[in-house]
Structure 1
Amino acid sequence: RLPTFQVALAVDVLTAGTFPRLPLCIKNRFIPDPPITPREEACVLARLNQVIQYRLSSFGTKLSPRISKTVIRNGMVTMTVNGEFEVSLTLLGERPTTKWTLLNIKILVEDYEIGFGTKLIHPLQVNMLHNVLQLRMDKSLEPFQEVYNLLHSFAQMLQLDVLFCQATQVLSGNMCQYAVIERYDRNMGILILAYWLKRTYNRYTSQYRIKIFIDKENENNGLRVRHFPVGKGLPYIDDRSGRLSINRLLSETVGVRCRERLLRIRERLGLLKPPVIVSLTGRAAPTLTYPLLGAQSHVDEMLVLSINDFSGNVIAIVRALGPCLELRELEQFIDDRVPLQTITDKMSRLRILLMLERYRKAVAPLPVRIVPENVFCTRLSSLPDLPPDRICLQFIKEEMYYLIVSFTPNEQTGVNIDMYLLSNIERKLNMIRLHPSQLLTTLPESSFSNARNEDDLEPPVKRRRWLGDRRLLTSAVATLDDRLAFMRICEELDRRKVKYKPLTVEPTVGGLILHITDFSEAVPSGSDDFFSSVINCCLRLDTRTRVIWPFECTLINTPLVADFYEPIMCVDYESMKTKTTVMEIHGSGGVSSPNTSESVSTHMIDRLIVFAHMFDPVKEFAAAYYSHYNKYCNVSVIFSKTQKSL
């Protein structure tokens, strides 16, 4: 039997050249539908956006406030939770019962400290999460709430894992003795870090903790941070940016804790005596500056307290002292919160050490040398009891004389300074206690103040308290050195039987002055009229540029007066007969030495001998000059360049 021939199809092909009777299954399989126009596409998407917007309006009150951005565009809605996830959904129909279709999931959690920003979720994991979430959306009556709850919980667990991995890397190695991961429970969503560890009973414990946890009670919260103990200004996790950093959290927390602890320490230091102003300083890290020797002391003499960021221990630094045991003990006392009296005693000890160091540096250019304590005790075994904190200075030119400076703590002034002048001559010890302020020469008072009204006078300035300033110490040592020099001069004058008054202070310029009363026994022969004409004879010391001994001699009834530059009619001979001469004597061995005292005494006596022998011949010449020769010539006194001879 023959098959049925398709005669109609053959006629269409042979006559019209078309094949209009193609079967529908073949047509639908191989011939695509004609594309829709852009206008139709825009209309469909606009209608779909309206449907999505209408459906979202019914869930608007139930959406989480953490959804920061909702965008409806091109027939789909994209919802974003910063730092966690981004999800895209759409509808495949207009009916109210049409299920939501999940299009895309993007996890926004990133790790730039360990993974350098690489993706933390594998595409297969995202695909599995996509399928699970689509099934749960189809079965849920609130699909948007289901999407948020699942992705929010997943993102938080991922954030906690990232923080745990960062903490494991940061707290490895040597950092394990300063901070540790105390607990990590992934199921409970808890991560606890302990820092500033203290070793007690062979274990590390700490009261400072950071608890990072997932808030199970409120799903609209991100990762919560709780600090123990509670404080103000402590940081939190910045989970909205997606770039988590446990290192930043620890650094900011430690910075706040350091400042808090320094403020508590400042309150305690403010109760110490003597009271001082403790200032909070520091740029990169907060520090406390405690002036040990007053507010005007050098920066290197300040006590600087800071907190070690790693261990939380107190660090005490005094640059002038360097590393010393007392600073380490002070750090331990502050850490252990011992009584204030113990800290006060340690502060007093630091002040004394600082004063000793200041004196050691200050006496370097002075004419004294420091005697070590062991040598000092050996040489002066019979020395009376002195404070243990002391420094012994031996005068270089006068090796038998010592200046002992002792230091004792005082609650009112901080440090009490006492000075003792000790002499060891022929194995006999003599010690005189000196007050430091008495060694300093008081400035002379002006004679012009007598003409003013007493009501207009300003109140006298009080002498400031001695604090061992370098300039004051230099002045004190120089004053003692000058007095020792005059003592040598007095010994030499005694040997030559020259009489003098006790050493006094010059009321005009404030220097030392020695008044000599009688030279007659030191001068073997001379004019008696010369010694009767001498009304003032004194010796001073000038060490400003070099060692010079100004020797001043005042005579009355001078027989001959220079009148070369004055007209004859204007010369008042009676008023010019009082003459004061100042001669400079240069010491040969420094300020104080046997050679200097002998040289100065010899120069004084030699010049007085010359003047005494010249007085009678000049007196005879003056009688002839004023009776006859002054009518024809004048007299002028010309000295040599050194002013030692006429």
Structure 2
Amino acid sequence: MMMLQPPVRQDMIPLARVIEFTCQKAYTDLNLLSELLHSKNDMERKIELVKYLSRVRYTLIRLLALVKWASGAGRVDQCDQIIAYLEEQSGLMFGTANWLMELAKGALTSARLPPFATIMAVDVFTQHTYTRLPACVKRLAGIPPAPIKPWEQRECLEQLDCLILYRLTITEIPTAMRQIKVYNGRAVLTVPHEFSVSLTLMSDSLSNPWRILNIKCLLRDLHTGRGKPLVHPLQMQWLHQRCQDRIISKDFDPRPPLVHLYDMLHSFCTFLQLDLLYEQACRLIRLRFGDLLAVEKYTAGSSLQLVYWRDLRRPATAGYRVRGHGLRLHTDPLDARRPICVTHFPDLPDSDATSIGRCIRSDELSLERLLDRTIQCRCRDLLYRAYKLLALLVAEPPARSAESLTLSLLQPAATHERLSIGVNAYRGLYSVRLPASGAGHVRTWPSWRTVSTKISRPFAGSPWL
């Protein structure tokens, strides 16, 4: 095997060239010295000759040492050849490894050994014909694939339903979103009186996010657009895309996907409900109540405060504020995921407040119905207070009905001799009427203290006038 020559490095030079350079250097210095010695005295000539001989002697000694070392340089050349051979083999191994890696990741990824055409060979040997064609022939010929059979579709949807049920059992779901229906490969989660969202899954991987199929807003207003949807389809499409982007990106928010989805849609519906109630309040002020109803404060998406039964007998000044009853529609400050809350001032009994709160939790959001129910409860409460006071003033308690109290002034008393006490639903004032004094003669007082004072006087003429 022929040995490889060691590579000549830049810091190496042949020995013959070194000897040649040394001789030329010594001869050149001697010629230069011979030309310069004529101008010097004897002592300086001797000094220059000694320096020249010392320098040439030192150079020749070094050259002698180098020549003696070169006589045994065969072993060094052999080591250099071995190193060169090893470096060449190492380069070949690295190149082969890199080529195999590129081949494994590139060409071999799609390279597969085709299956043996056993069935076709059997047909050829047994039937002496070839009746089977590759499936790609249908695609190239433009033949559509066979449709999915109904039983296959049902089986696929049933498996998808099981997968969705399993994912729902291991996913955190808000309490208000527990009305769930799973069918036809989708899960419909409904929050009553707010929204309904349809979800599905694209694979059985737990890391695969939910896919939103549809979002429906359940809020309706018969007075606005005759019950048509309150949200434009383009707005719903934007909301759909926004919610989908939020629940896909796990780095955006650490909350569970369904909790995050509920928070976004609930916030949107709350904002829409308060805005709708504000528009209804403005309509009622313009068409029905006038100055008797006012919007005291409205914060978009947060609260709406209304005042009714306003005391307008005196104008509002710096030292006097227009009095009245009120109610406040607002989000829960302790739990933003709860529905809109209704706060009354002055406070109502718990049973009345609960029944009024049901009016706000309906698909058809109506501030007029809410105010009517509130005013009915207020009127009933005022009549009950009047009944308790009258029971202390008169011997025979007055007769109670849903809208008025009837008090007999004489014993026995005819129908036209009975005092009727009610409450004006628009102003919140007591309304006292005696049929004997005329069908249209009605007096109103702002408080029961004034009414009781009038009635407790000795009967003379018309004490209630």
Task: Identify if the C-alpha distance between structure 1 residues 310 and 107 changes in structure 2 by more than 3 Å, giving closer, same or farther.
Answer: same
Per the alignment, residue 304 of structure 1 pairs with: 420
Structure 1 residues 281 and 342: alpha-carbon distance in aligned structure 2, compared to 1, 3 A threshold = closer
**Distance change (3 Å), C-alpha of 1:214 and 1:250:** same
Letter in 1 for 2:436: A
Equivalent position amino acid for 1:259 in 2 = R
* 2:215 matches 1:100: no
Cα deviation 1:18-71 (Å, max 9, x = unaligned): 9968988x9379443333333332332222222211111111xx3122225211
The CA distance in 2 between the partners of 1:193 and 1:98, in whole Å, is 47
Structure 2 Cα separation of the partners of residues 87 and 33 of structure 1: 33
Deviations 1:482-528 (A, max 9, x none): xxxxxxxxxxxxxxxxxxxxxxxxxxxxxxxxxxxxxxxxxxxxxxx
Give the structure 2 partner of residue 593 of structure 1.
none
Of the structure 1 ranges 137-146 and 262-271, higher mean CA displacement relative to structure 2 is found in 262-271
Shift of 1:177: 2.2
Instruction: Report deviation, 1:98.
Output: 1.1
Q: Distance in 2 between matches of 1:351 and 1:84?
A: 56
Please give the residue correspondences for 1:503-582 in structure 2 after superposition, counting only pairs within 5 Å: none
| 1:253 to 2:374 alignment | yes
1:319–1:57 distance in 2 versus 1, CA, 3 Å: same
User: Contact (CA 8 Å) 1:191, 1:213: kept in 2 or not?
Assistant: yes
Question: Which of 342, 359, 369 is residue 238 of structure 1 equivalent to?
Answer: 359
Q: Following the alignment from structure 2 to structure 1, what is the Cα–Cα distance between the partners of residues 464 and 322?
A: 36
1:319 to 1:82, Cα distance in 2 relative to 1, 3 A: same
What secondary structure, in the 3-state scheme, does the structure 2 residue paired with 1:244 have?
coil
Residues 301, 319 of structure 1: 8 Å contact kept = yes
Deviations 1:532-572 (A, max 9, x none): xxxxxxxxxxxxxxxxxxxxxxxxxxxxxxxxxxxxxxxxx
Q: Which amino acid aligns with 1:89?
A: L
Distance 2:461 2:264 in 1: 64
Give 1:207 shift. 3.5
Residue 342 (structure 2) aligned to one of 209, 225, 241: 225
Matches within 5 A, 1:422-461: none
| 2:438 corresponds to which of 295, 306, 322 | 322
Equivalent residue of 1:193, what SS? strand
Where does residue 196 of structure 1 map in the other structure?
Answer: 309
Aligned to 2:155: 43
Unaligned runs of 5+ in 2: 1-128
Among 268, 271, 277, the alignment partner of 1:157 is 271
Closer, same or farther: CA 286–184 of 1 in aligned 2, 3 Å: same
The Cα shift of 1:307 comes to 0.6
Question: Aligned residue for 2:261?
Answer: 147
Q: Kindly indicate whether residue 247 of structure 2 is the aligned counterpart of residue 137 of structure 1.
A: yes
Q: CA RMSD in A?
A: 3.1
The aligned counterpart of 1:71 is 181
1:391 maps to what in 2?
none
> 3-state SS of the aligned residue for 2:459?
helix
Q: Give aligned-pair identity as a percent.
A: 30
Tell me the distance in 1 between the aligned counterparts of 2:134 and 2:159.
Answer: 37
Number of residue pairs the alignment of both structures matches: 325
Instruction: Please state how far the C-alpha of 1:133 moved relative to its aligned partner.
Output: 0.4
Helix, strand or coil for the counterpart of 2:159? helix
CA-CA distance at 1:266 after TM superposition = 2.5
In the alignment, what sits opposite 1:512? Answer: none
Distance 2:449 2:248 in 1: 64
Cα 1:340–1:120 change in 2 (3 A) is: closer
The yes-or-no answer on 1:349 pairing with 2:460 is yes
Distance 1:223 1:143 in 2: 23
Change (3 A) 1:29 1:308: farther
Correspondent of 1:178 among 270, 283, 292: 292
CA distance in 2, matches of 1:179, 1:160: 17
Matches of 2:378 and 2:168 in 1, distance apart? Answer: 47
Q: Which residues in structure 2 correspond to 1:12-91 (within 5 Å)? A: 27=139, 30-59=142-171, 62-91=172-201
Q: CA deviation at 1:216?
A: 4.1
- Does structure 1 conserve the Cα–Cα contact (< 8 Å) formed by 2:430 and 2:448? no
1:207-231 Cα distance to aligned partner (Å, 9 max, x none): 4111111224224421111111112
Paired amino acid for 1:241: S
Aligned partner letter, 1:121 = V
Match of 1:213 in 2: 330
SS of the residue corresponding to residue 238 of structure 1 reads: helix
3-state secondary structure, aligned to 2:177: coil
TM-score (norm 2): 0.63
Residue number in structure 2 paired with 1:474 = none
TM-score for both structures, normalised by structure 1: 0.46
Contact 1:278 1:290 in 2 (8 A): yes
Aligned letter for 2:322?
T
Counting only pairs closer than 5 Å after superposition, residues 247-646 of structure 1 correspond to structure 2 as 247-272=368-393, 275-282=394-401, 285-294=402-411, 296-322=412-438, 328=443, 331-332=444-445, 335=447, 337-338=449-450, 343-345=455-457, 348-350=459-461
- Residues in 2 aligned to 1:147 and 1:276: alpha-carbon distance in whole angstroms: 64
Q: How many Å separate the matches in 2 of 1:311 and 1:353?
A: 19
Relative to 1, partners in 2 of residues 1:143 and 1:197: Cα closer, same or farther, differing over 3 Å? same
Q: Which secondary structure state, in structure 1, belongs to the residue aligned with residue 372 of structure 2? A: helix
Q: Distance in 1 between matches of 2:360 and 2:464?
A: 53
Structure 1 residues 324, 71: CA separation in 2 closer, same or farther (over 3 Å shift)? closer
Q: Greater helix percent: which structure?
A: 2
Provide the C-alpha distance between the structure 1 equivalents of 2:151 and 2:345, rounded to a whole number of angstroms: 63
- Residue deviations 1:288-309, cap 9 Å, x none? 1121122x11110111111100
